[in-house]
Each structure stands twice: as structure tokens, then as C-alpha cells.
Copies of this chain bind each other. A is one copy, B any other.
């Protein structure tokens, strides 16, 4: 809207107010018509484009959404629980910019690179929105020359994917990442990442789940054993990764037609990727005629055995499944890979849906070196929790009425029983705010008593201070318990102490958690 149009809109508003005032005051028709004519004249000055201020569909960008206060309360509670687990394991927090130099992201994501959001070249650097939090971490480690770090990072990432929003798949979504960087002993930090995932999934009570694990070196060894050329390992890997969405037949066809794998090699791969189990499977494969000849396969299998042993010490062995079909799409993994999958479909809206992967990660020992001019490596392992699907499940519960949340934490509402108490309300609010009590009052000069009490009930506010003329004259106010509707007189001078005592006794749930 042009600047003078803005002023015009203001004048139209004023003229409209005047007309309404004249009508309310039942002024003469002549007088009213005169002002209405002025109003119409003003409206005619508005250019046609400005007359319809909203010319485009009002929406958020494709694949994104707003979070209303109820959704935010759920989201903040989940993120809080996740943060607590990260801190329990001694992680520190870092943050990186939402965009990176485009070159930082180039060549890190394999086939998924096409999903990266680029910024427009407005003169200056060529930038892209971050696609995950792992590559920015590697860039940060290389740039800061840090060799050891246990960090968490909770932030939004961006992917130009085809959104399936009801299932919690978005183009803008939160990732909650926990990573351990440093030269340590085999599988020790790797196993702790799995422990962290189980603690998180248990804390948010999402239902039964399985943590699938596999090893990139075993996959490489398996591909080698099946006759795939080394140059084709990663491409084959990203095809195997589709096994959670496609049938084996479809994956086989893609391997043969798109990745140039021979039908015989594909069939050999097919035999392996159907296998899953525990330590005994690793033992069996170590004796496999083909695999036992290949160094990478042995390294992967020995790694898996050690990982499963540590998982047993962590008491999470019943949640882990060694699964040869797990491949993970991203290029940068070099060792163990893992993925958490819910065991049961989840009710969202009226239907049960398979939610799929809700956490994933693995070891990436060569990523930091890609940012270092001397190719200096910092070995890393980490896990990323995809909380949007968890939010979707909880939001569905909220909508179904299976769950309640309080979206504010107000402890005391200051109400007036008669007119003209605005200034007195303001003084009392000031006292309570300055005493650290969460307080609100009506922003209307003379609100209705019923409206004020309804506000308390709807918002779960436990106490109200009610101002009345006769009490105030005696230096008293009423304190009302909203749920019991019981009212007592309290001395105005002792109000803060009295409220503190009552709030403590009520054990007010001030964290906005489920009632």
C-alpha cells in the first residue's frame, strides 16, 4: 500500500467513526448524510488495487504451518524433555546460522541435494538454507578447529520435499541432534547415542519402537561380495534405503535399470537384505562364505557385535534389531547407522497411520575433513530425533480430547466487581508482578464480572483477586478460588503474602503441562 494511501485509510477510519457517532447520537439525517458524503468521497480516492488489500490467498508456504498456543505448549514440553535427556548425558548446546554458503552443502547429501532451498542472489554470497544440523556441525568443527565436542542442537531444517503434513512430514521441521565428536574407542560413543534415543522415546511415551542398526562397512562388503563395483556402492546404498517404502521387487528393478547392477548381483543383495536379528546373526554372517573373505564386511560385523554388547550393558538390547536392509540415504555415513521406527501404526485423526522413522543417525568419520584444507579428520557419531511426527501424534490426541494443555501460566487474575476500578487493578497487578506472581487483568476499563470469571475458568487460572467498593474502603479485597468458587476477605496490605501461601497450598501447575 502506498504511503499516502495509508494516511487515507486512517482518514476513512476517522470519518467512519464520526458517522457512527452521529448515528448513535441520533443526529439529524441531514447532518449524517453530509458526513457520509465526505466518507464516500474519501473512499473514492483509494486506488482500485488498494481498495482490495488482500489480493492473494492467505496461507503459509507449502509444507509449512503456524503453531498455535496449544501446539506450542505441546512442542515446548516435548523439546524440554528431549533437552533434559541431552543434558543428562553431558551435552553442550551450540547454534549455527539458518543458512550456509551454498558450497558448504554441496556434495554432502547425494541424491537428496535437489531438495535444498537456495536463496536468491541479491548481490553478495550464494546461500542455501540448512538441510540438516550435521553438515553445519562438521563445518563448525573444521572452522573452529575443535577436535572433541559432545553437543546438542535443536533447530529447524529445510527440505523441498513433497510434504505429507498430516503424517508430520513438512518442508520446515525441527531436528533434535546429539553428536559426539572425537577420537575415541570403537563403538563406545556410538552405543551411547542409542541409549540417548531410547531415553528420549521412553520419556515422550510415544509407544513401542524398534531401533534398527546396521553398518556402512558391512553394506560395502556385502555389495562387494555380490559383485557391485566400488564406484556403485553409494548409489546402490540409496536404492536399498528405499526398502521401507518400496517392495523388494521395486528396489530390484531400480537397481538393475537405474543403477546398472546385474540381475544376479541384485538377487544376491536381495538374499542378504532380508536378514535381521541379534548377535547370533552377526556370528552367522562372520562365517558366511562370501562375506568372510571381505575385510570391510568383517569390520562391519565385528563392529555390530561390539555395539550389541554395549547395548546389553546399557540395558537396551531388547529394543535393538540388527537389520541388513537398513541403509540410510545420506552419503556421509562411514560406520554404524541406525534408525528408530515405531512398532505400531498410530491413530491420527480417524485413521491409523504408519509413522515410520522417528530418529536416525550414524557415524560419519570423513565429513569434518571435507571442510579442512589439510583433510584433517574429526571422527563423529550422532543421532537426530525427528520430533514433528511426535508432535503430530500428540496433536491428534489433543484434537480427539484425550489430552488437555494449559497454554498460559497465570496464577492470579485481578478482577473488579464494580465500575471504575481500572487504576486500582493496575496498582495491584504492579504489586503482584513485582513480587514475581504471574498476573493478568482485563484491558477494558469496566469489564463485566461474568466475563472476567469466565476468562479465569477457560484459562485454568486458579485464583482471582476481586475488588469491591465496600471491601476497599475497609482496606480489604476478596480472594476467590476459581474451581471451588469460595471467596475470603484478605487484607489489602497482606495480599502478596496471602496469595503466595495459597498458591503454594494449591501446588499450582505452572509449567503449562497437561492438567
The answer to whether A58 and B433 touch (CB under 8 A), given A234-B7, A313-B426, A366-B10, is no
Number of copies: 2
**A220 near B: Cβ within 8 Å?**
yes
Interface residues of A in 134-193 (CB under 8 A from B): 139-140, 142-144, 150-151, 156, 158, 160, 172, 180, 182, 184-185, 188-189, 191-192
Instruction: Please tell me which one of the listed residues B76, B188, B231, B423 contacts residue A313 in the complex, with CB atoms under 8 A apart.
Output: B423
Chain B: CB-nearest residue to A156: B98
Give the contact-size bracket for chain A.
35 or more
Residues of B within 8 A of A331 (CB): 3, 6
Residue of A3, A127, A192 with most chain B CB atoms under a 10 A cut-off: A3
Chain B: CB-nearest residue to A153: B72
Give the complex CA separation of A195 and B440 in angstroms: 13
Residue of A160, A410, A429, A433 with most chain B CB atoms under a 10 A cut-off: A433
Closest approach, in angstroms, between the C-beta of A414 and any C-beta of chain B? 11
The answer to whether A89 and B433 touch (CB under 8 A), given A60-B97, A61-B99, A372-B53, is yes
Residues of B within 8 A of A91 (CB): 408
Closest approach, in angstroms, between the C-beta of A362 and any C-beta of chain B? 14
Instruction: Please tell me which one of the listed residues B7, B73, B97, B373 contacts residue A61 in the complex, with CB atoms under 8 A apart.
Output: B97
B87/A310 in contact, CB under 8 A: no
Interface SS majority for chain A: mixed
A69/B90 in contact, CB under 8 A: no
B443/A370 in contact, CB under 8 A: no
Chain B: CB-nearest residue to A139: B58
The answer to whether A199 and B72 touch (CB under 8 A), given A61-B127, A89-B440, A443-B180, is no
**A120 near B: Cβ within 8 Å?**
yes
Instruction: Please tell me which one of the listed residues B55, B230, B438 contacts residue A90 in the complex, with CB atoms under 8 A apart.
Output: B438
**A68 near B: Cβ within 8 Å?**
yes
Closest approach, in angstroms, between the C-beta of A270 and any C-beta of chain B? 22
Chain B: CB-nearest residue to A510: B87
Residue of A125, A129, A184, A408 with most chain B CB atoms under a 10 A cut-off: A408
Residues of B within 8 A of A158 (CB): 98
Instruction: Please tell me which one of the listed residues B103, B125, B443 contacts residue A188 in the complex, with CB atoms under 8 A apart.
Output: B443
The answer to whether A90 and B3 touch (CB under 8 A), given A160-B122, A188-B444, is no
Interface residues of A in 19-75 (CB under 8 A from B): 52-56, 58-62, 64-69, 72-73, 75
**A409 near B: Cβ within 8 Å?**
yes
Closest approach, in angstroms, between the C-beta of A346 and any C-beta of chain B? 23
Interface residues of A in 275-334 (CB under 8 A from B): 295, 310, 313-315, 331, 334
B94/A69 in contact, CB under 8 A: yes
A-B contact pairs, 23 of them (CB 8 A): A1-B107, A4-B230, A10-B366, A13-B366, A53-B369, A53-B375, A60-B100, A60-B143, A64-B99, A66-B96, A68-B94, A69-B93, A72-B93, A76-B93, A87-B408, A88-B439, A90-B409, A98-B156, A117-B122, A119-B119, A184-B444, A313-B427, A315-B434
Interface residues of A (CB under 8 A from B): 1, 3-4, 6-11, 13-14, 52-56, 58-62, 64-69, 72-73, 75-76, 87-101, 103, 107, 110, 117-122, 124-125, 127, 129, 139-140, 142-144, 150-151, 156, 158, 160, 172, 180, 182, 184-185, 188-189, 191-192, 195, 199, 220, 230-235, 295, 310, 313-315, 331, 334, 366, 369-373, 375, 377, 407-410, 422-423, 426-427, 429-430, 433-434, 436-440, 443-445
Q: Which 5 A-B pairs have the closest CB atoms?
A: A184-B443, A69-B92, A4-B231, A90-B440, A64-B97
